[in-house]
Amino acid sequence: MVFYCRDLTESLLSPLSSLTELRLDHNLIQTLPGGLLDSNKILVTVDMSYNQIDIIPGTMFTSLTRLEFLYLQHNNIAVCAFVYTIIYSLTYSFT
């Protein structure tokens, strides 16, 4: 599924609970709702690179126990409050 978006809502991904890979790179996303990924517990890869994200909520990735790859490069991140210890096998790219 390919779509381009600027505004995300907490319920946007709820019907897609079987996703293992989410690529939201190269959009104009500025804000991430804290509960955006709550229904997507089996995600392995999340790519939110090349956006305009400035704040990552502390609960953003807490339910993703299978997350291995997180791409956040080329954003405007000033506050990154999520807890690394909850994410078990994480390879991340963050600049």
Reported as a single tens digit per residue, the pLDDT across 61-86 is 888 888 888 898 999 988 766 645 44
pLDDT digits (tens, 9 = 90+) for 47-59: 999 999 988 888 8
CB of 32 closer than 8 Å to CB of 57: yes
The residue with greater pLDDT, 10 or 92, is 10
Indicate the Cα dihedral angle 82, 68, 28, 83, nearest 10°: 0
CA–CA distance, 89 with 91 (Å, rounded to integer): 7
- Whole-structure pTM value: 0.78
The residue with greater pLDDT, 24 or 9, is 24
pLDDT at 31: 87
pLDDT at 12: 82
- Dihedral pair phi/psi, residue 86, rounded to 5°: -80, -25
